[in-house]
Structure 1
Amino acid sequence: MNTIDISQRDISKIALLTNPAAGKGRAKEKGALAARKFHDLGVDVISIAGSSPEASAQLATEALASGIDALVVCGGDGLINLALQAQAHTDVPLGIIPAGTGNDHAREYGIPLDPERAAELIVDGVAVRTDLGKMRTDDGRERLFGTCVTQGFDSIVTERANSIAWPKGSARYVTAIVLEFLHFHSIPCKIYLDGALEVDEPITLAAVGNTRSYGGGMKICPDARHNDGKLDLTVLGRMNRYSVARKFPKIYSGNIRGEDGLSQYRAEHIRIEMPDMPVYADGDRFDVLPIEYSVEKNAGLYLIPRP
């Protein structure tokens, strides 16, 4: 395991990146509450919000070069992922005001969902170095991720969950699971771990985790650690609809160790091949398989509660 790198930071000037549409519009309100709390704490706030993901990415890049003490994201895991592309490998820490649907970054690092308490944590907390994951397509497209990447039945479920407005939070994923059972089937797959072929058969899903959860707290990689220099992989093998339905409550709780049909692995490099399968990273669609995954050691820098 990597040595834990924790440092105290003086936070007096931040850029606050907001996605007003995140959390069904709640991010705008939470961002305003956080900004007021920062002002009360004597912190200068530069508010930024792009009209598109590309514009937001550019604003984040410019803010990082302007001499801020922290880049703070008010939104969901998708906006955090966008910020990571600019902030990773820098010495400017990332603060989080959770305002999304799943908030799995916040769950991993113990960040409160209340925006004012999250703002206080950013000012009074510490910065910790973490690993990040990196995805690479065969044509060279790359992207970093902080939590989990899904492919197979769970990525199809994520596509369905993103298309429905109700219910809220993690219940949307449960609803999407039920709806997708109507079309469920196992998918031919090859998985290579550190260059060696490990899986060559139809499977239900494969999840790559830098951290433990996705989908609003579903602990698909319950043993993942964000500073161990490895990526975790959970594979749900070929099984019928009834068996899959029985497994998902255990996936949600993380109680999957030794479960029939579920295999767990750990590696620095993972390659997954499934025909035309969509891939979701930090809750947002990235590309389709095949994709190679690797660890970017110590690439992340998050503001978290004091130990």
Structure 2
Amino acid sequence: MNNPARTLIIINPASARARRAWPKIKGALADASINFDAHETTHAGDATEKTRAALRDGYNVIAVVGGDGTLSEAASGFFEFHRDGNTASSHHPSPINRDAALAILPAGTGDDFARGLAGKREALGKWLENFIAYLRHDDVSAAREIDVIHGWVEHGERDFICLNVATIGLGAEVAARVASQGGVMRRLPGEVRFVAAACGALAAWRERTVRVTVDEHEVIEGQTNLLAVANGIYAGGGMMFAPGARNDDGLIDLLWSHDLTRATILRELPRIRRGEHLANERVRLVRARHVRIETEKQEDALLVEADGNVRGHTPAEFRVMPGAIQVVGK
């Protein structure tokens, strides 16, 4: 970062952890004589709108105090989407400011993207130290370029940016249930909420026949329990969905599971937490730059979520954008 930082901090007040963390963050920034503006989100998509407007107005650092969903919304705001066709292949998101950076101050339920960057769940204080060092030019290496995934769904949000992991089918149903949890459930650890939601979604699930086109030539067809498109390692509050995924290799990790009974899926949950599920012969891993997913029957369209936010239904496409965004973190 060569120019003085003009910083906007976006806070998700719906997150209890974010509400508790914000006074500490604000105090540390004041002690370090850091100038910033702040905005509390008020509705879904607000972080995207505010980020996009801020970058157009000359801000060059956007920090997020919240979880994966708010962080993902802010990341989408770094890009303009150009709709010149009806697939992700014909859309070319362009950055508003290539020199701008997205700073992570994790204060969500799972904080899976931050966990993947650091290799473990780090205390907020460590992230805050790095953030302040970056803003004061003490440690410009705190920022690095990473890949993002450009996602597109025919029925729903249409275009979006996925920072971490998108799931299609059963995984998306689980994410939708986690998002709708309230009361006591919202105060439980992320992994507990994930397992509870998984049990409920699994009881109502049935396999669908899916066609997946990889890099526009390889076609995989068959029934599936779960499809995951990964840029990062963790999802679902610390579940190691894609243990070999890297967010700087220019590739998507596509996970496909099939012919797993409900009992087998429940047995696999602890193994997913340790990243051992890839040893199951009914779980397949493919690395690609572009993936298209569609169901055999339109009435079997699958739910799609990315970074914990439900995006719509298949058909869906995902295309990697190498080195598309700078993040400030670990």
Distance change (3 Å), C-alpha of 1:222 and 1:214: same
User: Which residue of the partner structure matches residue 129 of structure 2?
Assistant: 120
Offset at residue 254 of structure 1 (A): 0.8
Separation in structure 1 between the aligned mates of residue 228 and residue 245 of structure 2, nearest angstrom: 11
Does structure 2 retain, via aligned residues, the 8 Å contact 1:15–1:45?
A: yes
Q: Which runs of 5+ in 1 are unaligned?
A: 1-7
Separation in structure 1 between the aligned mates of residue 176 and residue 258 of structure 2, nearest angstrom: 21
Distance change (3 Å), C-alpha of 1:14 and 1:241: same
User: Which residue of the partner structure matches residue 91 of structure 1?
Assistant: 99
Offset at residue 190 of structure 1 (A): 1.0
Offset at residue 40 of structure 1 (A): 1.1
Offset at residue 67 of structure 1 (A): 4.0
Runs of 4+ more than 3 Å apart: 8-13, 53-56, 65-69, 111-117
What secondary structure is seen at the aligned counterpart in 2 of 1:185?
A: coil
Does structure 2 retain, via aligned residues, the 8 Å contact 1:207–1:233?
A: yes
Distance change (3 Å), C-alpha of 1:278 and 1:56: same
CA-to-aligned-CA distance 1:110-166 (integer Å, 9 cap, x gap): 286544432211122511001100112347921111000001211111222222231
Does structure 2 retain, via aligned residues, the 8 Å contact 1:12–1:43?
A: no
Offset at residue 11 of structure 1 (A): 6.9
* Code of the aligned partner of 2:172: S
Offset at residue 273 of structure 1 (A): 1.3
TM-score (norm 1): 0.89
1:129 counterpart = 2:138? no
Separation in structure 2 between the aligned mates of residue 300 and residue 225 of structure 1, nearest angstrom: 14
Distance change (3 Å), C-alpha of 1:155 and 1:112: closer
Q: Which runs of 5+ in 2 are unaligned?
A: 80-94, 134-138
User: Which residue of the partner structure matches residue 144 of structure 1?
Assistant: 161
- Choose which of 189, 209, 231 in structure 1 pairs with 2:230: 209
Separation in structure 1 between the aligned mates of residue 56 and residue 214 of structure 2, nearest angstrom: 37
Separation in structure 2 between the aligned mates of residue 9 and residue 101 of structure 1, nearest angstrom: 34
CA-to-aligned-CA distance 1:23-59 (integer Å, 9 cap, x gap): xx22122122111111111211211123223443332
1:19 counterpart = 2:12? yes
Separation in structure 2 between the aligned mates of residue 169 and residue 91 of structure 1, nearest angstrom: 33
Separation in structure 1 between the aligned mates of residue 154 and residue 54 of structure 2, nearest angstrom: 32
Identity %: 25
User: Which residue of the partner structure matches residue 3 of structure 1?
Assistant: none
CA-to-aligned-CA distance 1:217-265 (integer Å, 9 cap, x gap): 1111111110111100111112211221222221121113332211000
1:293 counterpart = 2:318? yes
Offset at residue 10 of structure 1 (A): 7.5
* Code of the aligned partner of 1:108: G
Moved more, 266-275 or 131-140: 131-140
* Code of the aligned partner of 1:144: I
1:103 counterpart = 2:143? no
* Code of the aligned partner of 1:32: P
Offset at residue 65 of structure 1 (A): 3.6
Separation in structure 2 between the aligned mates of residue 57 and residue 203 of structure 1, nearest angstrom: 32
* Code of the aligned partner of 1:15: L
User: Which residue of the partner structure matches residue 30 of structure 2?
Assistant: 39
Offset at residue 69 of structure 1 (A): 4.5
1:184 counterpart = 2:205? yes
- Choose which of 157, 162, 167 in structure 1 pairs with 2:174: 157
TM-score (norm 2): 0.83
